[in-house]
Amino acid sequence: MTANAASPNHLQLTRDGQLRHFLTLDGLGRDLLTDILDTADSFIEVGERSIKKVPLLRGRTVVNLFFESSTRTRSTFELAAKRLSADVLNLDINTSATSKGESLSDTLLNLEAMASDMFVVRHAQSGAPHFIAESVTPGVAIINAGDGRHAHPTQAMLDMLTIRQHKGAFEGLKVAIVGDILHSRVARSQIRALNELGAEQIRVIAPGTLLPSDVESLGCTVEYDMARGMKDLDVVIMLRLQKERMEGALLPSEREFYRLYGLSQDKLALAHPECIVMHPGPINRGVEIESAVADGPQSVILNQVTNGIAIRMAVMSMAMGGQVADRQQKLTELTERGLA
């Protein structure tokens, strides 16, 4: 199962450039990414109301199709869908028919037969959301909630929203992503978004064992030394170090990783005084980041969580709007040809 990296937009966009699916940030362009951020901004205040609902997806059914566990991501997608007034089905893959031998295609057909309008897909295999988008009935929107090492576009966009809120614009920003770049779909999507939105400099800081061999081709510079990499930073994004990486002999120990690459107050002091600290979560305190930094005045980690709901509301509402516009356009064309 591989992503259609050559031309993702034949799936993602309608002919007039609206979102139909949200699978990757590749090829979306600055204008559309900015539209997503602006739409998310308009949803921020919904979370501050006493009744946190808007009727944009009333009557629609959203299925959270998580083949890989993630409590935080699934919860924010569920909240986002409910705040848009959609009906939500959380499919437990561990007890679903796919774990009993039913094919993914058959599972999708059964869910479509229930008149589902949107699948939010998280999968350990790169390209799975693309495969599903190519397989589903027209009119069903697919949102990528993370696939393999490939992409995590909504996480990247909530990070961009957080950066814009605190820095105003991307031009002139120096941003570093620190940690396990090799296995991180988040880092790949963040680098793509930062480049598209105009960040001045994107650095990745990590040991050589946690860097892809072609990392610079993504549009970033490599720094192996944390002290040099932190100099003059406006934004530092720490990545979660997964325990299995330690068992894979990619690093000598958690203690050694923290000594060299963990974000402490001393290392943060090397950055710009107004540098903000980010982390996609969940946090391993004392491994990637010191508690005093994670809970400190420069941390915007909880803002990221709040912004995750707004970004997912934006993407879901825009994709559903694109699906409706696409269907209407096709119906109009058929009517003009006397076929409808």
Cβ distance 239 to 179 under 8 Å?
A: yes
Reference 193, options 262, 118, 278, 115; nearest CA is 278
CA dist., res. 308 & res. 335, Å (int): 40
The phi, psi pair for 17, rounded to 5°, reads: 85, 10
| Three-class secondary structure of residue 223 per DSSP | strand
Flag whether 20 is marked binding.
no
Flag whether 155 is marked binding.
yes
Residues in contact with 318: Cβ distance below 8 Å, sequence separation at least 6, in sequence order:
18, 19, 22, 35, 36, 39
Flag whether 296 is marked binding.
no
Q: Both tokens of residue 311?
A: 């970004």
Flag whether 172 is marked binding.
no
- Please report the beta strands in 165-296, taking only residues with DSSP state E, as ranges in sequence order: 174-178, 201-205, 221-223, 235-238, 276-278
CB atoms near residue 208 (< 10 Å):
10
| Three-class secondary structure of residue 201 per DSSP | strand
Flag whether 185 is marked binding.
yes
| Three-class secondary structure of residue 3 per DSSP | coil
Flag whether 152 is marked binding.
yes
Q: Both tokens of residue 72?
A: 């935080």
| Three-class secondary structure of residue 174 per DSSP | strand
Flag whether 329 is marked binding.
no
Reference 156, options 186, 185, 123, 195; nearest CA is 186
The type of residue at 286 is G
Flag whether 297 is marked binding.
no
Between strands 118-123 and 61-66, the pairing is parallel
What are the binding residues? 72-73, 100, 122, 152, 155, 185, 240, 281-282
What are the binding residues for L-aspartate? 100, 185, 240
What are the binding residues for carbamoyl phosphate? 72-73, 122, 152, 155, 281-282
